[in-house]
Amino acid sequence: MIPLPERAEILPDADAVAAAAADRLVALCQSAPRPAIAVCLSGGSTPKRLYGLLSGPAYRAHLPWERLHWFFSDDRMVPWTDAASNVRMARDAFGEAPIPEGHLHAMDTHGTPEAGARAYAETLRAFYGADVLDPARPLFDLVLLGLGEDGHTASLFPGKPALSERHAWTAPVPEAGLAPFVPRITLTVPALASARETLFLVTGAGKQEPLRRLARGEDLPVRHVRSVGRLAWLVDREAAGA
């Protein structure tokens, strides 16, 4: 078995990972300190399963949809109708979920990544109500992240400038490190850190290699992610090699 990061839970399969994440969201909603609850979503196949689960019969009635606001860790500079768009994926996976108008905060992926990144930082600031992140009052209740096969998370790719950003809340990513090779917008390390809880969802045999490299102490982007709250990993057996 691959030695896993601290606070990693091994679950039987991808469905169990999605269910464990859904349970954490329900618990975080119950303990939310403010009426509005902010969740930061990621793209990728692993979170998609979770979004479908949340909108389905097992969880739908247990979530305070009127209070929930959904944001994105990153998106690709493609139209919102494109198959590579994270907001499209989330919309499709949420299906008929009762998300109130204006509660799904998409990134503007139609212009330049620079303009889109600036606009999204404004969206986040307006929601947060301040220009400076206070560790005692995190921006997000829950940040959901994936692990790319090259060790990226959100759109923080190895060796790209966005990974070193320590002030701005968002960054343009003119060149992606992995397919689809389209420019991106990403939240930065400090914005992602402003969370009551951060959960990495990691499933499938393709994730063994980045987990092994992480265990060897390699400087992968995912290692830069911090949380002012609790940071935990939900890993399925296949990914953990267990």
CB 73 → ligand 6PG: shortest distance, Å?
5
Reported residue count of the chain is: 242
- Distance of CA 192 to CAs 69, 205, 236, Å? 16, 26, 23
The smaller minimum CB distance to ligand 6PG, of residues 67 and 206, is found at 206
The smaller minimum CB distance to ligand 6PG, of residues 138 and 146, is found at 146
Given the rule CB under 6 A, which residues bind ligand 6PG?
42-46, 73-74, 86, 146-148, 152-154
The smaller minimum CB distance to ligand 6PG, of residues 190 and 204, is found at 204
The smaller minimum CB distance to ligand 6PG, of residues 55 and 153, is found at 153
CB 127 → ligand 6PG: shortest distance, Å?
20
CB 186 within 8 A of CB 156: yes
The smaller minimum CB distance to ligand 6PG, of residues 84 and 119, is found at 84
Handedness of CA 87, 189, 199, 9 (dihedral sign): positive
Which residues, including other chains, have CB under 8 Å from residue 216's CB and lie 6 or more apart?
A: none
Compute the CA torsion angle 137, 142, 148, 151 (nearest 10 deg).
40
CB 41 → ligand 6PG: shortest distance, Å?
8
What are the beta bridge partners of residue 234?
9, 201
CB 164 → ligand 6PG: shortest distance, Å?
17
CB 229 → ligand 6PG: shortest distance, Å?
19
